[in-house]
Structure 1
Amino acid sequence: DGTKDGFELELTRKIADAVTIPVIASGGAGEPEHFREGLAEGGADAVLAASVFHFGTYTVEGIKDYLESHGVEVRRPFHPTHAPA
């Protein structure tokens, strides 16, 4: 945990394939591509990180932008001023 070398993709994939509950990849995210890999290659339903946000390396919005630009569907907070008419 906290290595910033990426998620344990092989282990995450084995768990995701073996269970019927949501899997969250945790520990190891150090760059935006790690988040995409955790979802696409690791098969996780969600990914999480702390240190890259806590120390200001990346923002949640920046990671979501990266994921969207790579074809990953992300949730955005609801803003009434940006709601469709």
Structure 2
Amino acid sequence: MTEMLDKIREAAMVLPAVEEHVEGETHVFYVADQPFVRVEGDKVAFRSGDGITIEWGSDMPLADVGFPWSSDPVGRAWERVAPPELLEAGGR
């Protein structure tokens, strides 16, 4: 288990209705059966608003990546796929 996976898991699992699915070395975090973060070895992929997945490796610190999001890519990815009832209930 990597430090990156630990940080992603810590951020994801505090969000409502999140499940982690593990298949070998791949960890995928879901909300309402929709994947929003995938960790595969030292690579992470986040779901963006238009369905495009943005990926980077462990050699690129999250703070140094020129994201169109805030410094909270896990939370933003969750917001992109969470059902309206979770968002309306003040999901995060």
Which bracket does the TM-score occupy, shorter chain normalised? under 0.3
Relative to total residues, which structure has the larger strand share, 1 or 2? 2
TM-score, normalising length: structure 2: 0.26
Relative to total residues, which structure has the larger helix share, 1 or 2? 1
